[in-house]
Chains A and B, each alone.
Chain A
Amino acid sequence: MAGILVFIEQRDGSIRKGSLEALSEAKRQAAATGWPVAAVLAGEGVSGSAAGLGAYGASQVFVADDPNLKLYSAEGYSEAVAAAVEKVSPDAVFFSATAMGRDLAPRVAARLGVGALADVTGLSLDGDTFVATRPVYSAKAFATVDTAGKKPQVIGLRPNVFSAEESGGSAEVVNLDALSFSIRAVVKELVSSGGGEIDVAEADVIVSGGRGLKGPENFALMRELADLLGAAVGASRAAVDAGWIDHSHQVGQTGKVVSPSLYIACGISGAIQHLAGMSSSKIIVAINKDPDAPIFKVADYGVVGDLFHVVPAMIEEIKKIKGA
């Protein structure tokens, strides 16, 4: 056989959106070559989620259901992916480039003796070779790359860049039995921080604040706008290093890389290391009192003005639109 195998990430049994994007993209790519698309899912008690993957394009779903796989481990999960690879001999293996995908894909690739293309934002096929575009040098350049003829082609797709779409269909569920694990690095616990706040890495809308906020108390204004938009709160490193907000909110080179459909930067100058983390956002809005701030060079929309006057007025206007 051939085709594309997609690793499916779940947390507490629910499938992560990035994986549905990767699966949908596999389906779209496979349409040109007539390749079958298969998925591999690991966890405990996850079989129930497997069949639903048919709707996103998988014709087969391999399931590794095991108490040892309840929480993620690179060693355990790579065993499951390798077993599925053995079954279908795919031309390519796709991952969503989440914290899990970016950890697992290179481990799997090395095990298979191939390279991997990380954090890809554009993909096309040249014969049966995937040609990928990925941001490099903090998104100051874009490289067009391939796996130098090695197969399977291991590819990580940046979350929120490729769309998830149901194509209708059903999947055959195949259990991967008789896997043997030797998991040395064991995840003991998954601790959620931030009281269930949306993580910037997963958010579709982000309201981000920088040094222009002047102090930690003013992140309340960011939160108010974010709540109204169902958004996550992001921050520049200057705000994080000042201790105004936790590092998990930081966007940029030494923070998270995000691609929301809307990114609103308030009091952020737009240093290159910040842009590295958010320049692939679909719509960028900047609010800054300095007309020469570099953030305006990447902004689709912007207001030159004092954020303490502009943002509250925006909140009022948005409430009007939303009829709240």
Chain B
Amino acid sequence: MKCIVCMTHVPDTASVIKIGADGKHIDESGIKWIVSPYDEYALEEALLLTESKGGEVTVVTYGPQRAEAGLRECLARGAHNAVHIVGGESTLGDSLAIAKVLAAALKDREHDVVLCGIKGVGTDNAQVGPMLAELLGLPHVSGVTKIEWSDASIVAHREVEGGYEVVESPLPAVITAQKGLNEPRYAALKGIMAAKRKPVEKLEVGALGLDESALAGVEATYSVRSLELPPAKEAGKIIQGEDDPKAAAAELVKLLADEAKVF
């Protein structure tokens, strides 16, 4: 099986977010960048699949120079190839533009399955996978928590409110991974050493044959007017209840009923 994994390199989820000088991006100083957690599930699934059925895993990212570190991490865990489409803003959010770039890079590359994360942590868009599927003319299944693989098809569980859907799809298809699909492995020291010697293929966005009249070769479909920190929240009413939990509970319930009017 030839597996493509789309990886996005994002600020560590525990990062403190500060707004950058332009008021539209984050201030990147002090940010630690990681492989987006859902992409780890996507990669793990591809690794497990090729370990059992043979084939190879190619990880693709579209992003600035630093995203190469994310590709190295994936190579260290066992991916066979890495493709870095260099470009784009450092904090991407234009899902269709990203999907167009990825589609252009993937269309002539053999693939039985394309795996994405359900969402990129940070943009929290959850859009690139289905958009990529549409552009590549493939079916997709998103938010997958379980997959049974056959040679030319899959049966997958897709998480929905109050349950799950059982979806059958032919391959090739685009899958987006949800937590629960598997337990991602860590990179072993041997893998980390080996990854240093594996090549990372570099592609320029301009060379993908997209509309070059627009910035970076892709027309914008999403624009950020401003980025702000959440408004400071007024301090809540916190009741000390260590000594008399019963009285504290009664006071809380009274506040919820009379002031917040929630019951």
Contacts and interface: CB of A to CB of B under 8 A. Distances in A.
A148 B223 contact: yes
A148 B16 CA distance: 28
A145 interface: yes
Main secondary structure of the interface of B (DSSP, over half): mixed
B166 A109 contact: no
B24 to A, nearest CB: 8
Contacts of A110: 96, 99, 130-132, 134-135
Interface residues of A, number: 99
Contacts of B38: 254
Contacts of A117: 222
A138 B131 contact: no
A280 B42 CA distance: 28
A305 B162 contact: no
B166 A304 contact: no
Contacts of A138: 13, 121-122, 124
A236 to B, nearest CB: 13
B229 A147 contact: no
Contacts of B158: 99, 187
Nearest to A132: B225
Given A148-B220, A299-B238, A136 B94 contact: no
Main secondary structure of the interface of A (DSSP, over half): mixed
Interface of B: 11, 13-17, 19, 26, 37-38, 93-97, 99, 121-135, 139-143, 145, 155, 158-170, 173, 179-180, 220-230, 233, 236-242, 245-246, 248-250, 252-257, 260, 262-263
Contacts of A310: 241, 245, 248-249, 252
The 9 closest A-B pairs by CB, nearest first: A115-B221, A305-B241, A313-B249, A309-B245, A110-B134, A185-B139, A184-B139, A106-B127, A185-B169
Interface stretch (A24-32, A86-94, A194-202): A194-202
Nearest to A198: B162
B134 A107 contact: yes
Nearest to A100: B160
Contacts of A119: 124-126
Contacts of B263: 229, 262, 318, 321-322
A181 interface: no
Interface string A167-199: 000000000000000001111111111101111
B83 to A, nearest CB: 21
Contact of A186 (B168, B222, B229, B246): B168
Nearest to A305: B241
Contacts of A298: 233, 236
Interface string A96-138: 0011101111110111011111110000000000010011111
